[in-house]
Structures are given as C-alpha cells and as structure tokens.
Amino acid sequence: MTAPNELAERFGTPSFVYDLDRVARARDDLFAALPAEFEVFYAAKANPHPELLNELRTGGCRAEISSVGELDAVLQAGFAGEQILYTGPGKTTEELTEALTRGVRLFSTESLGDLRRVGETALRLGVTADCLIRVNNATGAAATSIRMTGVPSQFGFDSETLPDLAADLREVPGTNIAGLHFFPLSNAKDEASLIAEFRHTIAMAAGLQKALGVTFRLVDIGGGFAAPYAVQGERPVYGTLRAALGETLDEHFPGWRDGAPRIACESGRYLVADSGTLLTTVVNVKDSRGQRYLVLDAGINTFGGMSGLGRIMPVNVEPHESVGTDGTPASLAGPLCTPGDLLARNVFLPSEAGDLLTVPNAGSYGPTASLLMFLGRPAPAEVVVRADTVVSVSRIQHIRTYEHGQAL
C-alpha cells in the first residue's frame, strides 16, 4: 500500500485509507472458516462505502441493511433486491413501501406489530414478503463476550413467548414465515466462545421450529466474529469453527447440507475493520494545569461519534515514523468545541505540531458512525487503494434541501 505520509500529502488529513486487498482477505478468511453451504450477509452499517460494498458483493456476500439510505448504497453497489435482508425495529410503512417496490423480499421482524406492518404493506403492493422472526434468546452460552440478548430489548421476540404466538405469526396476511434471525453476540472473545454460542443458537432454532409448527427455509444464526477496533491487533482466523458448525447442524437440522434449511450468518467489523487506517495530524500542543493536550484534526466528528456510549475511546494512535518524546503523557483531543471530544487519555506521543499520526483497524464504524455534521466541519477524505494504486477518493457532503419554502 502507498505510504501513509504520501497519501496524507496528496489528500490531506483527516483521511481514511481503505485497502481492498485486506477486505478481500477478510472475506475469504470468513468463508473458509464456515461450511461451504453457508450464506454470509455483510452488515452495511459497519461501512457503506460503495467500493467496499462492491468488493464484498463480487466475493459472494449478501447485504444486511436497516434503512433506505443503506438500501440506496447497496443497490448502487450492484446488489439485487433478492440479495438483501432488511432489518431494524423501526421500519415505517414508507420505508417498507420503498424496499418492496425496489425488489427486497426478505425482512427480519422484531415484534408482532412489525410483522403485521410488513404484511399490510406487501398486501397493498400485491406481493408477499418472506419474514424472519428475530429471536431475543432468554439464555446464552458465551459468558465473556458482548451479549446482545437475554434482557428487555426493542430487538426481537422474547424466546419464551414465541410458542404462544405461533398461530398469530402464521396467519399474518402478506407474509410467509421463512425462518429465524438471531444476533446474540458481538465481538466474541475467542473461538471457543463463538462456537459455544452458535451451538446454543442452533439448538434453540431447532426447538423453535418444532414449537412454531413451521418448516424453516432460512436460519440466520447471527455473528459475533471478532476484530480489533481502533487498537493494535490482528483479526483472528478461525480454524475449528467450520467442523463444529457442521457437526451441530447435522444433529439439529439433518437436511441443511441440501438447503433444508439454508443457513446464514452475518458480519460487519470482521470483514472491514482491518482494511482501514485513519490518518490525522497534530494541530496544536497545549499544557494546562499539569495536563498536556495534543489537539488533532480528527475528533468524534471524524471517528468516534459513539464514544459517548463507551464504544470507541481510547483508540491506539501512533506516530507514522519513530519520533522522540519527552515522556509527558497527553490526552488526544479533537477540534470540536466540546470537552467530550477526546479520543484517548494518558498516551505517550510526539509533541510537535505537524506530526502525522495513524489509527489502525479503523475500517468499520468510521465517518458514518460519527458526528459528521456537528459544527459543520468537512467530512474526512476516504481514500480507497488496492496494492499501490489509488482506486478512488471521495468525501461525504451534506446538502440541505427544501420541501417547503425556498432558500434565502
């Protein structure tokens, strides 16, 4: 890949650099870790950049979306409607109308009301929607990872209530119950935890198939594939997952190898996180009452809009080249007029304005997960490379449009 300092000189900072070769490597590693019969949905929320979407599509991924904006992105990247799974707890009639009109037929539904809204919209358009029932498991198997279920939530049907809803679910006009959708885990700590959770999910799915009296055509067992995020580290390669999944599915769904049911999983950060590097420059160095601040041109408007939720900070920021330091710990502040614009505290870095710093593993949850419009600062450049070739350079622009009245 072209050296970061050369890219920074050409395109400025802050900027994200995405390496398509690393996207392809992650995609191939994930497919190799799964049984050959598996389908893989890419969660577009991780990074909806069109070049990354296209790379994943051409390598066999399908798309998982949860808005009409993401629908636009994946269709423009070449995905067909039948390759898309539409998810989310707040699907409006208007969104559903647009999705169905543009060819989407597969939806994950979170509640009986959500299922009925999908059915009503499909009936009005003269089509039938295939619906997955998203399940909020009451129990799980992995004890050391980020749990996504087992608590009250806007996501999914509580697993313990589903058997009593069986008749209601089967009788919603405009829909076919195609199967189940699970997402019990995020960023599994290790392969053993991931396997344990998938085994638990598959057993749960088999029990629910019997309880609901429906022959499933598709079971999406979710994700949980790990990847370092804005810190140093290597994306894991799973060596025993394929055999473990095959063994468990043979036990609970004997016809799965022939597509009865089809089995899918989904991933976001695993597929794109290690493809990205954030380039940022030290703008100013400030000492205040015994605390040093390195003020960067990248803050939570560029990377880390979810930091207030504890999702990002602290990042690992490093000098592009080996530069001496006076040993003074510093907080890394962004350029925004808020004390919340901090990316890290007590880090040892060079203290000269103009230094180029890099944030590794920054290919997921970057610009589109950040406070891009806050204070009106320009969005970072997004540079896509393959080997030493720059494929594209783009920047998100926000344009106000008027539905009533006119511009001054």
Per-residue pLDDT tens for 347-360? 888 778 999 999 99
Average pLDDT over residues 142-160: 63
| Residue 387 pLDDT exceeds 70 | yes
Q: Which two tokens stand for residue 304?
A: 């880390």
Residue 12, Cβ density class (10 Å: 0-12 exposed, 13-18 middle, ≥19 buried) = middle
**Ordered domains of the chain (ranges, CATH):** 34-267 (3.20.20.10), 274-394 (2.40.37.10)
CB-based contacts of 299, cutoff 8 Å, min separation 6: 333, 334, 335, 336, 341, 343
In which band, very low, low, confident or very high, does the pLDDT at 123 lie, cut at 50, 70 and 90?
very high
Per-residue DSSP letter, 26: H
Instruction: Give the tens place of pLDDT for each residue, 246-261.
Output: 999 999 999 999 999 9
In which band, very low, low, confident or very high, does the pLDDT at 312 lie, cut at 50, 70 and 90?
low
> Which range is least confidently modeled, 18-27, 99-108, 323-332, 392-401?
323-332
Sign of the Cα pseudo-torsion (184, 223, 42, 130, in order) = negative
Instruction: Give the tens place of pLDDT for each residue, 219-238.
Output: 999 999 999 988 899 999 99
Q: Is 357 helix (H, G, I), strand (E, B) or coil?
A: strand
Strands 381-386 and 15-19 turn out to be: parallel
According to the model, what pLDDT value does residue 357 have?
93
Q: Which two tokens stand for residue 393?
A: 């350079």
Whether this prediction's pTM lies above 0.85 is answered by: yes
According to the model, what pLDDT value does residue 339 have?
86
- As a whole number of Å, the end-to-end CA separation of the chain is 46
According to the model, what pLDDT value does residue 323 have?
46
